[in-house]
Chains A and B, each alone.
Chain A
Amino acid sequence: MTPQDLCFASAGEIAQLVTAGEVTARAVVEAHLDRIRTAGRALNAFTAILGEQALGDADRIDAGVRRGRPAGVLAGVPVAIKDLVDVAGVTTTAGGHARFHYRPGRDAPITTRLRDAGAVIIGKTNLHEFAYGVTNVNPHFGAVKNPWDVTRIPGGSSGGSGAAVAAGLCTGAVGTDTGGSIRIPSALCGVTGIKPTYGRVPRAGIVPLAWSLDHAGPMTRTVADAALMLQVMAGHDPADAASSSAPVPPFSTLLDGGVAGLRVGVPRRFFWEELDGDVRERCDDAVGTLRSLGASVTEVEVPHAAYMSRAVAVIISVEATAFHEQRLRRDAGAYGGDVRVRLERGWFVPGTDYALAQRARALLTTEILQVFEGIDVLVTPATPSPAAPIEQDPAAAAGVSLTMSLEYVRCTNPFNLTGQPALSVPCGFTAKGLPVGLQIIGRPFDETTVLRAGHAYQQATEWHLRRPPLDGRGPTPEAVV
């Protein structure tokens, strides 16, 4: 296997090769570090590259393999961690101003779980400041670029994770998702990402954005790898009060079985309205593929769909401002323009409006779960449009960020409100070569069905196997911000 092949190998392949002693974890990590320093330079996907630490961890895995120790299901797999999540001894920046940084003494539980499974933490990924936005134009660390067109946004807030996975800078990455921050960059970067059920993956050691909407999950190139990472990351942890004790199925062994007979609901109203033409076509094609694989596709109505994003807007505004209150009062000027506006607007939401939005949430969740009495999964476009250009004018960037967020989260944030599992899989490209994502949503704690549907789709298509035109074929880094 060439170094480039290693950079685009699946997690399952890498773990198998490393466990068998056919490839060393060091060789895998070196290949990725080299790619980060070359092809990856144009993307600005990382806030920290943990080169020496990663090589040391790889050497320990290789030594264990030589001694015959069990190496773990992610043996030698390079994983990047969104820089909102604690990695012991490495500054957690949250993409914010240096005055807000801190250096955790221990890993977040999900970081520990990944390490225990043999993953090598290769770096921390750039993000929208405090995960509060979708452009990933970060005023402190610079803009992350989309690997398919470096003049465009990768989506966010886990944009560094999406770009890094797409470009072969890591095999998998951790993302977080409060309104779409795993699924939006997955769609815009052409990778696979799942926001699991609320409570499925513990969030201790992760800087909050909005407690009742925050989720963490994996971003990978394939559904099979997402399943592998998710089963490692999932499971109860007492340090997160919302963490669920529900048993974690062995997701990666439950992928096969196809979609024959699966009841797929298509909510044409709201979720399929006001779409970019190419996005609509590619997502329609994907629904056709699911039908051709034997799924039973029906149109369904999600009652009050337009109200879901409104409830999210009120809830996120209040919870985010509550978390940032002290910093905001003390040092508002240290926030970027768009995030400062988002945080300060929360001062002006009455408590009664917050409680109203939570009441609405209960109603809207009940209503959508009633829709699921007649279907197994719901499918929608992950985003209404493909990756937008990066705003070049710093003075205009904040305003663009504020308006752009409203558009990109429309199909994703309803499922942060309801807490349902939602997966984005690549389902084609626009005429300009930009990736499009299909979102597959399931019942609470039924990630198994969501992953099975996504896996069946990837077994029948090759969109997830395409590689972005880096290595000199894309625009030169000097041409962009």
Chain B
Amino acid sequence: MVPLTIDDLAAEAAALGLSLPRDQLQRLLPEVERLREAARLLRELPLQSDDEPATRFSPV
């Protein structure tokens, strides 16, 4: 996975209409990277199967 840079994050923020100062982007960078890594790892799960349980948005 290509590492996320501050400039990447600034561009994404601008696209979202957000004006975030650079020091805040710096604080956000490791958290955003962590969430993207979490999502990348979730894609390792065997979800693409014929018997995948119906997705529910509440747990029980």
Contacts and interface: CB of A to CB of B under 8 A. Distances in A.
Nearest to A350: B39
A60 to B, nearest CB: 38
B45 A419 contact: no
Interface residues of A, number: 45
Interface residues of B, number: 32
A362 B53 contact: yes
B35 A314 contact: yes
B53 A363 contact: yes
A78 to B, nearest CB: 32
Contacts of B34: 313
Contact of B45 (A304, A337, A347, A355): A304
In the complex, which of the residues A347, A417, A420 has the most CB atoms of chain B within 10 Å of its own CB atom? A347
Interface stretch (A9-17, A19-27, A338-346): A338-346
Contacts of B1: none
Nearest to A244: B60
A363 B52 contact: yes
Contacts of B57: 212, 358
Contacts of A317: 35
B38 interface: yes
A455 interface: no
Contacts of B60: 197-199, 244, 418-420, 444-445
Interface in B6-37: 9, 12-13, 16, 18, 20, 24, 27-28, 31-32, 34-36
A365 interface: yes
A198 B47 contact: no
B55 A365 contact: no
A359 B31 contact: no
Nearest to A328: B18
A63 interface: no
Nearest to A353: B39
Contact of B47 (A313, A345, A359): A359
Given A348-B28, A359-B55, A363-B46, 11 more contacts: A307-B42, A310-B38, A310-B39, A314-B39, A329-B18, A347-B18, A350-B39, A353-B39, A361-B59, A362-B54, A418-B59
30 contacts: A199-B58, A212-B57, A242-B58, A310-B41, A311-B38, A313-B34, A313-B35, A313-B38, A317-B35, A337-B27, A340-B24, A341-B28, A341-B31, A342-B31, A344-B24, A348-B9, A348-B13, A348-B35, A353-B42, A356-B43, A356-B47, A357-B39, A359-B52, A361-B56, A363-B53, A365-B59, A398-B27, A419-B59, A444-B59, A444-B60
Interface of B: 9, 12-13, 16, 18, 20, 24, 27-28, 31-32, 34-36, 38-39, 41-47, 52-60
Interface of A: 197-199, 212, 242, 244, 304, 307, 310-311, 313-314, 317, 329, 337, 340-342, 344-345, 347-350, 353, 355-366, 398, 402, 417-420, 444-445
